[in-house]
Amino acid sequence: MQGVVMHWVALALAGALGCATKAPSPVDGREAERVAMVATQIERRGIHDARVLEAMRRVPRHEFVPARVVDAAYDDRPLPIGHDQTISQPYIVALMTDLAMIGPRARVLEVGTGSGYQAAVLAQMGADVYSIEIVEPLAREAGERLARLGYAVHVRAGDGYRGWPEVAPFDAILVTAAPPRIPEPLKEQLRVGGRLVVPVGVGYQELVVVTRTATAFETKDVIPVRFVPMTGEVQKP
The catalytic residues are 88
51 forms beta bridges with: none
Is residue 182 left, alpha or beta, with left meaning phi > 0 and alpha meaning psi from -120 to 50?
beta
d(CA 52, CA 124): 9
**Coil, strand or helix at 190:** strand
Name 203's Cβ contacts closer than 8 Å, sequence gap at least 6.
none
CA-based end-to-end distance of the chain: 20
